[in-house]
């Protein structure tokens, strides 16, 4: 099976413009209906936001950031709908937003495929789409005006580079997020490009702590030689800690854990030496999202891609750093 295209490749294909690969390149939102209010100067901007769920600490922080930014005081009338990690719920919410004739539709797609029909319906309605966090893989041309999120492939690569440098002989089990999601597809690609030959097994924990624990319980039986877990998010890694300890092993020592996200509980596990390395995925970009939406409604140029900046953390992190973490 061929490897999925990278985020940049897929975004470029989606917007159909080869010259916009450079991050931060600008495109016009012109052509999209700027809404019935004639811009953000007067009435509130009516935004329909379909959040994919509440599966993780990251998602909770992202939802809080979005809600804190898209407020009435800031000029928004937000209709926020939680899809509970079900694509059919998201599709229904998107259709409701079209029926409500909102000014802008924003959504974070739970998986990449299966959006063609509803994206075409939105396009036909003239409502501009702002894609948030994850990506789509669709045959619809120009399905969204702008996208904001993290570079998942780079996150996977950063995790792989830590493994290559610090645990080059490790036998790795990869605890994957929701299969078919942009976060899973791209983190797998980035990590496997660097240390794919070290991966002895993979399974999905659907980005949740409970399913992460279950997947690692099974992996401990199937791959008794594994001594490092690369988990696609902190919540599943915390579930992995529970499974490892229940099996009488020491997380961070007998089985090292490399994670993605950097929520407070994940960083606490790093201070406690149960996680070994954490690649940040920053969920706090509500302000940037609000700014993008304002510009889209006002017909101003917006970047086709806005990549949220990520850091990484090792066990030199202090308790004070963790206590100061806002989420």
Residues that bind ligand AHR (CB under 6 A): 55-56, 58-59, 133-134, 183, 207, 233, 260-261, 281
Nearest CB to ligand AHR, comparing residues 21 and 54? 54
Nearest CB to ligand AHR, comparing residues 55 and 103? 55
CB of 260 to ligand AHR, least distance (A): 6
CB of 283 to ligand AHR, least distance (A): 7
Where does residue 84 fall: left (phi above 0), alpha (psi -120 to 50 degrees), or beta otherwise? left
Nearest CB to ligand AHR, comparing residues 130 and 297? 130
Nearest CB to ligand AHR, comparing residues 128 and 262? 262
Nearest CB to ligand AHR, comparing residues 261 and 304? 261
CB of 48 to ligand AHR, least distance (A): 20
CB of 314 to ligand AHR, least distance (A): 19
CB of 54 to ligand AHR, least distance (A): 9
Nearest CB to ligand AHR, comparing residues 133 and 304? 133
CB of 258 to ligand AHR, least distance (A): 14
């Amino acid at each position: 099976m061929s490897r999925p295209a990278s985020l940049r490749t897929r975004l470029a294909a989606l917007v159909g413009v080869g010259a916009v690969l450079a991050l931060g390149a600008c495109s016009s939102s012109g052509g999209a209906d700027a809404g019935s209010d004639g811009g953000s100067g007067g009435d509130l901007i009516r935004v329909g936001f379909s959040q994919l769920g509440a599966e993780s600490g990251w998602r909770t922080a992202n939802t809080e950031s979005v809600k804190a930014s898209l407020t009435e005081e800031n000029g928004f009338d937000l209709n926020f709908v939680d899809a509970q990690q079900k694509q059919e719920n998201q599709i229904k919410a998107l259709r409701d937003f079209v029926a409500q004739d909102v000014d802008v539709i924003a959504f974070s797609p739970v998986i990449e495929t299966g959006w063609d029909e509803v994206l075409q319906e939105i396009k036909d309605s003239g409502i501009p789409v702002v894609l948030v966090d994850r990506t789509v893989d669709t045959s619809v041309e120009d399905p969204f005006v702008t996208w904001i999120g993290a570079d998942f492939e780079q996150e996977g690569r950063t995790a792989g580079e830590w493994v290559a440098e610090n645990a080059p002989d490790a036998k790795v089990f990869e605890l994957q997020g929701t299969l078919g999601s942009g976060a899973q597809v791209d983190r797998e690609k980035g990590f496997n490009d660097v240390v794919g030959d070290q991966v002895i097994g993979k399974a999905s924990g659907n980005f949740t702590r409970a399913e992460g624990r279950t997947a690692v319980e099974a992996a401990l039986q199937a791959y008794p030689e594994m001594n490092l877990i690369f988990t696609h998010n902190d919540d599943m890694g915390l579930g992995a800690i529970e499974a490892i300890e229940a099996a009488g092993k020491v997380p961070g020592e007998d089985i090292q854990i490399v994670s993605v996200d950097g929520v407070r509980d994940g960083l606490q596990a790093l201070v406690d030496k149960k996680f070994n390395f954490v690649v940040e995925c920053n969920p706090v970009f509500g302000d940037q999202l609000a700014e993008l939406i304002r510009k889209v409604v006002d017909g101003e140029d917006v970047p086709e891609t806005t990549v949220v900046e990520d850091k990484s953390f090792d066990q030199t992190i202090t308790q004070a750093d963790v206590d100061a973490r806002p989420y």
